[in-house]
Amino acid sequence: MSEAASSIAVVTQSVIAGLVAGLCLLQVIWWRSDRGRSGSGWLLTWTVAIAVLLSVNIGLSTLAVTDGSYSSVVFVRAQVLAVCVVLAVPTVRAFTGGPPVRPWVIAATAAFALRAGIWLTTDLVLVDGSGAAMARGPLSVPTFCLPLAAVAAYVVLALRRVRDRRTLVVIAGTSVVSVVLLTLPYLAPVGPWTHPLTVVWTVPLAGGLTALGLRRLAVVERDARRQHAMRDAVADLGTSAWYATDADGLLVEAESAAQRVLRDPSIHASLEPLPRGRFAARLVGAGGPSEHDDTRRFLDELARVVSTAAERITLGRDLERAAFTDSLTGLPNRRALDRHLADVLVRARQDRSRQAVLHCDIDGFKVENDLHGHTWGDELLVRTAAHLRRCVAADDVVARFGGDEFVVVVQQPGSDDELVALANRIRHGLTDDGDRALPLLSVGVAGWCPLAGGEPDHLLRQAGTAMLESKRRRSGVVVFDDALRARMQADEELRRELGIALVEDEFTAYFQPVVEAASMRVVGVEVLARWDHGGRIRMPGEWLSFAEETGLIVPIGRRVLAVARTGAQGMGLPVMVNVAARQLAEPGFVDQLIADWGSADWRTLTLEITESALLQDIPHVLAALQVLRGLGARIAIDDFGTGYSSFARLATLPVDVLKIDRAFVDAVTTDQGRAVVAAIVSLADAYDLDVVAEGVETVQQLDALVELGVPKLQGYLLGRPAPGRPRPVAVPRPAPAAQS
């Protein structure tokens, strides 16, 4: 080998080394980014093997031919070359998706191993391993071409599976060039170019595969950027969906995002409503659904966000509608009324305009329900709602206030006469239903003006007060005026004073004696509530009905019962305590009574309940009274004869005492009055009930009651209510009742 040729060979290999180093650097960058997803791992491994082969070649070029290690380095180079040829198989498969490589790798490896064995044991591969006479043996080329043919055959099979034309051309072209370059050293005589050619053959194939890999990497990075853009678009749309109130606007945003990310202006979106508040959103291009998995998944995710948001928006609207709409009549409910009235008054203050509210109530609605059933009651409410809508203007609001009460907000009320005319149309406007006459409506009218001011709740209370006054007067229509305002202010003052009285414990108990008719002996007392307000005793007539309406009677009644307990223990007499209907309606009435009275002396307690209160809620009341009777308490019907029950119902009621109303006692001196009292006494005897006549104020009444056999009496004639133990009153002793 001439010195010039050797220098050229070294320079050539150095250039190849630089090229291989550049390929290694590119492949390392590719491998770090790709992590083997596009064949970068096998290509990097193959290029490293090429670098090793190149290092061996350069080392071989620097050794003298006569050097003893020269033949050993040639053998090592041959084995590294064999490794490079075998590694080409999995590398090509990584880029082509060819058939399994195991049989081909085993075949090529076995062939190269056989060649190495022949090399070491014979001179058939290398005739002379030292000196200038070193030459190839007869099996050098065949033993190398055999595994090379196996690798080439695999490459051909792999290329048949390639669908990408560019990949096919690059791999096929570079493979042919590499095979030609690889065979040249074995076809030409050994010379200065033999060593470089054993490496140069790898450059075309490695360069081509690297170019394909970098192209793939660019595609992968482009796809990664696209995936990031898709995720960002879905995330942004999801954020917008949280605050969206219009599904159509969100659909447009999804369509715009899909067109921008996919760079396809033909994509269009649609939203289709489904049953039960569900929605189906779709995003498709002009060519129909996409065949790419990531594109289809991206469009599906956008559609899912839109459809879910549409369902949430629809559900929210339905819930808001349900929260502010009466389910039976379809009218706004009380919450909606409060909100609407507040808005109306704000605008009215700005416009300095007048407003009006009509509070309507169906007369006798409870009777209608009891007589004809709840289905008819619901139908009556629906008809009333429709009737009110027909009576008012389109911009007026009709709301169901609760129960059988409705409220109309009139935004352009006109004069008071026009409001009264409207109220009368509302009162009489319900049409008859065949043979069934529909009830009338009681209407209360209240006006509002900017000068008068006031809050929505205050205006509603005024209209409600006028409506209650119309029921009391039986006039049907009442306009809230100064007189009602004064009464309303008085009620507010009374409520305030009652609240203070409860806090400062101003309620006390007075005791009125109950005497035995035969002996005029005091056998018990009735406990009566009194209000000691600033040193003046306020009688129940001033505040009792108001306390019952407002519910304040409940704490007042509990206070009186505690005083009655103390009085019964101090006087050693049975006590009778009034129980209001509002107290009976309390869910925890029995528990409260047991807590206030204690656990003993129940037989000294008689609870007085009005006949009408006893019939308001039969199951609840009967259950409570049965429990109290089981403890030993007695139950008395107060004002008996003025309620709505028939005498026959006494057999089903838990009753021990009948208290004859003072109206019958006043008339007992007449023939009709005597007959009524005699009937009550006979009825009590039939059901084994005790009888007390209350309101006895004259000796004539006393004589008549004793004569009719009434066993116990009560009234001013026999003793007035007093804060302490009642004193006996000297009255003429009546003659005993005649014995038959």
For residue 38, pLDDT beyond 70: no
Q: Are 548 and 579 in contact (CB under 8 A)?
A: no
Which residue has 């409220």 as its token pair?
Answer: 407
Higher pLDDT, 172 or 372: 372
Average pLDDT over residues 705-717: 91
Q: Where does the pLDDT of residue 406 fall: very low under 50, low under 70, confident under 90, or very high at 90 and above?
A: very high
Q: Are strands 575-579 and 522-533 parallel, antiparallel or unpaired?
A: parallel
Q: Where does the pLDDT of residue 159 fall: very low under 50, low under 70, confident under 90, or very high at 90 and above?
A: confident
DSSP state letters, 432-484: PBTTBPPPPEEEEEEEE-TTT---HHHHHHHHHHHHHHHHHHT-SEEE--HHH
For residue 738, pLDDT beyond 60: no
Q: Are 555 and 524 in contact (CB under 8 A)?
A: no
Does the pTM exceed 0.75? no
Higher pLDDT, 293 or 188: 293
424, containing H or E segment = helix 416-428
Q: Are 731 and 521 in contact (CB under 8 A)?
A: no
d(CA 96, CA 205): 13
Beta strands in 338-433 (DSSP E): 355-362, 397-402, 405-410
For residue 649, pLDDT beyond 50: yes
For residue 302, pLDDT beyond 80: yes
pLDDT given for residue 535 in this prediction: 77
d(CA 167, CA 172): 8
To the nearest 10 degrees (0 to 180), the angle between helices 70-96 and 165-187 is 160
Higher pLDDT, 684 or 65: 684
